[in-house]
Amino acid sequence: MNPRERYIETVTFGTPDRIPFEPGHGRESTRKRWHAEGLPEGRDPMEFAMGVLGIKPDEPRQPTIYPDADFRLLPMYEEKVLEHRDGHYVVQDWKGNICEISDEYDVSYLRTGIDFVTRRWIKCPVENREDWEAIKVRYDTEAPGRFPDDFAARCAPLAERDWPLIIGFSGPFWQLREWCGFEGLCMLMIDDPEFVAEMAEFWSDFVARMLDRILPHVVPDGILISEDMAYKAKSMISMDMAREFCMPSWKRWTRQVKAAGCPIVDVDSDGFIGELIPLWIEAGVNVCDPIEVAAHCDIVEFRQRFGKKMAFRQGVDKRCIAAGGDALKNELRRIEPVIRDGGFIPGCDHGVPHDVSWNNYLDYCRQLAELTGWL
């Protein structure tokens, strides 16, 4: 099988020749440690680990060309430092947030997931309806830069791709939280639910219009909806709120892409998602991740509850990877029945943290490769 076939077969409970090997990557601080412990500079840790273990990379033969449709606000806000004091920067990020970060980082760390950066939110771009009217203009589907000039040409060869094409964008909770801030959004759900519904409908329409422009040129193998909406033990909002403000978007986008022939709808949310999975299943979602064990997510129990209505990705306790030894062996033994049952691509249940040593990462990769058919 090629990588595309293998991915689809796995998450749709088919019969893959082996399970995709996705142990997870380290961010900047993790890689800094690994470089000191044996990972050569400039090398991708997963690819280098495969070489050390004698695993032949399963590289696609077709070029990995991405459509590059941009779902973000355009134009973006200017990234700038507003103040520097007591070892911290007060900055404006590309989304229009004002926040405080340690001065060991710069504002670029808020643009992409370079590393795990703690921040204190000071002001978000939407605090009232006047702010809302001002930011809406940044979501014009016809805005310069929204699609590359050669979009149709980029999409044409993708009909022959042998690697999985996944198109990602923010879900309604994630996006409204980006605009209003977490506390601001939750208060609006109580104080002004009509305003929240208006913003959610706007975002639903925007994403649907973007998909309308994409799907005639290329049908992806999956969409990935970023929707962090859970604490360590509970959802951030009630299921009634999720059903009211989020379910319409989830259902609409799922119908839209599946009607075009896209088989996979994946929702990514950290935290405890046990309450949310039934809603996602109802909406037509068929994959979710990262299944954080520290947040009381038990993939074995989830499989017992939801059967083959939901496939999973990741789900390996990062704390056990860090501990290594028997802790890691027992963790992989715990999830092995779900691996054997299908519909599961195991990997670290979020970014690999810097308390994972290079030797433990290599051992973890070896054991994972054995379980997924690569060794």
pLDDT single digits (tens) 227-268: 999 999 999 999 999 999 999 999 999 999 999 999 999 999
* DSSP-assigned letter for residue 315: E
Instruction: Quote the pTM value.
Output: 0.96
**112: confidence class by pLDDT, cuts 50, 70, 90:** confident
Each residue's pLDDT tens digit, 188-217: 999 999 999 999 999 999 999 999 999 999
pLDDT for residue 342:
98
Sign of the alpha-carbon dihedral angle for 6, 308, 248, 242: negative
pLDDT reading at 115 higher than 90: no
Pinpoint the residues of the chain covered by CATH 3.20.20.210. Answer: 3-74+126-371
Please give the angle made by the CA atoms of 5, 11 and 15, to the nearest 5 degrees.
Answer: 60
Average pLDDT over residues 61-77: 94
pLDDT for residue 58:
83
* Domain at 3-74+126-371: CATH architecture: Alpha-Beta Barrel (3.20)
CB 235 within 8 A of CB 275: yes
H helix runs in 156-236, sequence order: 172-180, 182-191, 193-214
Two structure tokens written together for 157: 């060869």
pLDDT for residue 116:
86
Each residue's pLDDT tens digit, 260-300: 999 999 999 999 999 999 999 999 999 999 999 999 999 99
